[in-house]
Amino acid sequence: MTDDLFSLSGRVCMITGASSGLGRRIAICLAEAGAVVVLTGRRQALLKEVEKAIADIGGQAHSYTLDVNNRTAVQQIIDTIEEQVGPIWCLVNNSGVVVMNRPENFSEEQYDDVLDTNLKAPFHLCQVVGRKMIARHDGGRIINMASIGAQTELEGGITYCMSKAALVTMTKCLAVEWARYGIHVNAISPGYIETEMTSQYYGSEQGQKTIAGWPGKRIGKPKDLDGIILLLASSASEFMNGSIVSVDDAQPLGFFGNSRQIS
């Protein structure tokens, strides 16, 4: 009974930014639960590596090169996925970028890069996938990857925080608009997670000092999101809609000094 509740057997789940980091782990987690995983990202070679890793554990995966900021490509790829793989049951909006700068020094190009990738692109992906879910009358799941930056000021990351806060609001609005169609739209706000991008900093002296300032004195691992991903993607979350779930080991509660940084 418990296994059935979290089973994604045969469900098509699409993940953006699936070539590395959190996206890679999310894809493997969903595949382990029986999902037919669709990997998208800009680095085809890395996507193929994830595809092979999933095949090696007996899972099913398909990879497509995609720049989420290319609106035409997004529509074409999603049409292709539904034709070649099947109807998308779950969309995980995981792609994102961080540009660090002082507020007074942000260029228009930097601003647009962050807001386009972290907010405009997820909205467009929700639109395209949402239209297909609505037309099928069979419900679906959308999971948006937010951040503790949505509710905590991160030094040097004003545009990142703005984009994630807006993503949270978008999640709630879509949940209200699409509940009538059985589409559940929720978001996850991870704390600091160790990935390829952050491991060098958190292994440094300053990084270790930052970690020591958190209540749990530890950094998260990508697999620490497995439980919430499975919950929100499966029928176990049938009565969850518009929820913003923090998975951060109380890190924001233990900030001090200059530890409110993105690294």
Closest alpha carbon to 79 in 25, 150, 131: 131
Quick one: three-class SS letters along the chain?
CHHHHHCCCCCEEEECCCCCHHHHHHHHHHHHCCCEEEEEECCHHHHHHHHHHHHHCCCEEEEEECCCCCHHHHHHHHHHHHHHCCCEEEEEECCCCCCCCCHHHCCHHHHHHHHHHHHHHHHHHHHHHHHHHHHHCCCEEEEEECCHHHCCCCECCHHHHHHHHHHHHHHHHHHHHHHHHCEEEEEEEECCECCCCCHHHHCCHHHHHHHHCCCCCCCECHHHHHHHHHHHHCHHHCCCCCCEEEECCCHHHHCCCCCCECC
**pLDDT reported for residue 10:** 94
CATH ID of 2-246, from 3.40.800.10, 3.30.70.260, 3.30.565.10, 3.40.50.720: 3.40.50.720
Spell out the per-residue pLDDT of the chain, length 263, in tens: 566 889 999 999 999 999 999 999 999 999 999 999 999 999 999 999 999 999 999 999 999 999 999 999 999 999 999 999 999 999 999 999 999 999 999 999 999 999 999 999 999 999 999 999 999 999 999 999 999 999 888 888 999 999 999 999 999 999 999 999 999 999 999 999 988 767 777 888 888 888 898 899 999 999 999 999 999 999 999 999 999 999 999 988 865 434 455 54
Residues with a known catalytic role: 160
What integer pLDDT is reported at residue 234 of this predicted model? 97
Question: pLDDT (tens digit, 9 = 90+) per residue, 79-134?
Answer: 999 999 999 999 999 999 999 999 999 999 999 999 999 999 999 999 999 999 99
Q: How many other CB atoms sit within 10 Å of the CB of residue 100?
A: 16
Beta-bridge partners for 247: 190
CA distance 21 to 128: 25
Q: Which residues on neighbouring strands pair with residue 184, listed in sequence order?
A: 141
Neighbouring residues of 58: CB distance < 8 A, sequence distance ≥ 6: none
